[in-house]
Amino acid sequence: MEWIVIAVIVAFIVWRMKPAKGVKTISTTDLRGMLTDKSKQFVDVRTPGEYKGRNISQFQNIPLDQLPAKLNKLDPSKETIVLCQSGMRSSRAAGILKKAGFTNVVNVRGGMSQWQ
């Protein structure tokens, strides 16, 4: 019985970490080479406190809980790079963006915890 519970927990964690369908994933090393590209938009979905503490200047801060209400501030035709602290919230944000019609969404794997 215990192994069933463990299997369910592991399956749930794997499912939660899986990126939204059609979302690319990049590393922070890949991100570094994209930051000067003006054709892309960069969104940091962490809280304002996290963003204020440490951020990448090209990223605008739109916290995950405010993202659905602020989609009109973003251009759905542009490649949208999303970032959070670890990659979990940005993965959820990527799903929100895809459902809203954004066609080119990229999640930064590892987020700010991997940024050097």
Instruction: Reduce the secondary structure of 20-88 to three states and give it as a string.
Output: CCCCEEECHHHHHCCCCCCCEEEEECCCHHHHHHCCCCCCEECCHHHHHHHHHHCCCCCEEEEECCCCH
pLDDT, position 67: 98
- Domain range 2-114, CATH class: alpha beta
* Structure confidence at residue 17 (pLDDT): 54
Three-point CA angle 46, 51, 52, nearest 5°:
150
Say if residues 61 and 49 touch (Cβ distance below 8 Å).
Answer: no
1-15, 20-34, 100-114: least confidently modelled range: 1-15
**pLDDT at site 21:** 64
Model confidence, pTM: 0.82
* Domain boundaries defined on the chain: 2-114
Answer whether residue 46 shows pLDDT above 70: yes
Rounded to an integer, what distance in angstroms lies between the CA atom of residue 23 and that of residue 96? 11
Each residue's pLDDT tens digit, 69-88: 999 999 999 999 999 999 99
